[in-house]
């Protein structure tokens, strides 16, 4: 029981990070109906920007952890959001009126470009970061096995909850959110009613990239290492989470991320760590067989 509880805690932590990345996928798909396959590499760029910011702040003598993390969070979200804007401007906007295959290929090309761009600038070796937030709380001790809840895990889950609530309120109660929902329902009609569609879509990419930057920062702090290829597998897992939860649904993306994290950690803990990815995608296939729209997704109804 104690081991199961520990794996649940670990799964919720990892799932929260996948959920943050998955929101970027589901926001873009919800508005333009296309998958941003470069989003995983945007997350990777956010991690590298975070580690560079750690180094710069250390050289400047800013060592108080709360202030340093706040500065890194702001800088990481700003520079990563810039990368997200560039992806939309270069890979999506010029091809928005073409068939769906062209932007898909363009996004894959942008993903490969970002991987090589970071590899050339930072090198192919892993970048390590010493623990910034260590220690934790001992939840229980059963049979000599101590269940621990790390302070870093508390930060990750708490930050995820705050961001999820904030983005839900932004989309449901602000002018930008109404414009995004209008573009999601009918982009041409939204344009005729005065919505700046280009600006709305660009801001959606920027917001998704900002969340990916947060995920990159907490991933770096949680695992203590990052490399230029980490965005590929994390992006695939996050996309799987978005599809599992119901792509186009923000709560669905977070639910899918948590489920993916739990499946990964529980399978690795009780069975073979080599096949935890197989288990994840097997669950996805089973869910889509019985519920093609995902757990919280809604079927698209076209009125004729």
List of residues 6+ apart from 116 with CB closer than 8 A: none
Neighbours of 59 (CB within 10 A): 8
In-domain check, residue 304: no
Residue 133 lies in a domain: yes
pLDDT digits (tens, 9 = 90+) for 147-187: 888 899 999 999 888 988 888 888 888 998 899 889 888 88
Confidence of residue 301 (pLDDT cuts 50, 70, 90): low
Q: Is position 222 within any domain?
A: yes
Asked whether residue 175 is assigned to any structural domain, the reply reads: yes
Domain contains 22:
yes
244 inside domain: yes
Q: Is 297 inside a domain boundary?
A: no
Range of the domain at 55: 2-290
Instruction: Work out the average pLDDT over 34-38.
Output: 85
Domain membership of residue 295 (yes or no) is no
Instruction: Write down the pTM of the prediction.
Output: 0.90
CA angle 251, 254, 256 (to 5 degrees): 105
Please determine, for residue 108, whether its predicted confidence score (pLDDT) is greater than 70: yes
Structurally, how many domains does the chain consist of? Answer: 1
Ordered DSSP codes for 93-141: GGGTTS-THHHHHHHHHHHHHHHHHHHHHH-SS-EE---SS--EEEEEE
Q: Is the pLDDT of residue 142 over 80?
A: no
Q: Please say if the pLDDT value at position 299 is more than 70.
A: no
Which tokens go with 227?
A: 């490399």
Torsion angle, CA of 249/204/95/257, rounded to 10 degrees? -40
pLDDT of residue 103: 83
Q: Dihedral of the CA atoms 219, 206, 191, 34 (nearest 10)?
A: -40
pLDDT score of 80: 93
Tell me the average pLDDT across 20-28. Answer: 88
pLDDT digits (tens, 9 = 90+) for 209-238: 999 999 999 999 999 999 888 988 888 889
Please write the tens of the pLDDT for every residue from 268-289.
Answer: 888 877 777 888 888 888 888 8
Query: pLDDT band at 258, cuts 50/70/90?
Result: very high
Task: Reply yes or no on whether the pLDDT at 83 is more than 90.
Answer: yes
Residue 226 DSSP label: E
Is pLDDT above 70 for 48? yes
């Amino acid at each position: 029981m104690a081991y199961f509880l520990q794996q649940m805690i670990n799964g919720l932590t990892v799932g929260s990070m996948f959920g943050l990345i998955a929101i970027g996928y589901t926001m873009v798909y919800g508005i333009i109906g296309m998958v941003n396959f470069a989003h995983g590499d945007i997350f990777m760029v956010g991690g590298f920007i975070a580690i560079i910011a750690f180094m710069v702040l250390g050289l400047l003598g800013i060592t108080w952890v709360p202030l340093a993390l706040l500065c890194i969070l702001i800088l990481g979200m700003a520079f990563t959001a810039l990368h997200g804007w560039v992806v939309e401007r270069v890979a999506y906007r010029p091809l928005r009126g073409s068939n769906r295959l062209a932007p898909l290929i363009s996004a894959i090309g942008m993903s490969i470009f970002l991987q090589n761009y970071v590899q050339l600038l930072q090198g192919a070796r892993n970048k390590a970061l010493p623990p910034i937030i260590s220690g934790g709380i001992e939840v229980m001790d059963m049979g000599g096995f101590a269940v621990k809840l790390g302070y870093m895990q508390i930060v990750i889950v708490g930050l995820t909850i705050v961001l999820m609530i904030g983005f839900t309120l932004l989309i449901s109660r602000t002018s930008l959110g109404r414009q995004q929902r209008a573009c999601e329902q009918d982009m041409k009609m939204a344009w005729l009613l005065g919505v700046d569609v280009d600006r709305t879509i660009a801001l959606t990419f920027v917001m998704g990239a900002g969340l990916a930057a947060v995920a990159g920062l907490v991933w770096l702090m949680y695992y203590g290492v990052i490399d230029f290829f980490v965005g590929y597998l994390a992006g695939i897992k996050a996309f799987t989470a978005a599809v599992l939860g119901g792509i186009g649904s923000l709560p669905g993306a977070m639910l899918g991320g948590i489920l993916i994290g739990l499946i990964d950690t529980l399978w690795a803990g009780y069975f073979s760590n080599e096949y935890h990815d197989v288990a994840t995608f097997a669950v996805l296939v089973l869910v889509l067989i019985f519920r093609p729209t995902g757990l919280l997704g809604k079927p698209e109804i076209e009125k004729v």
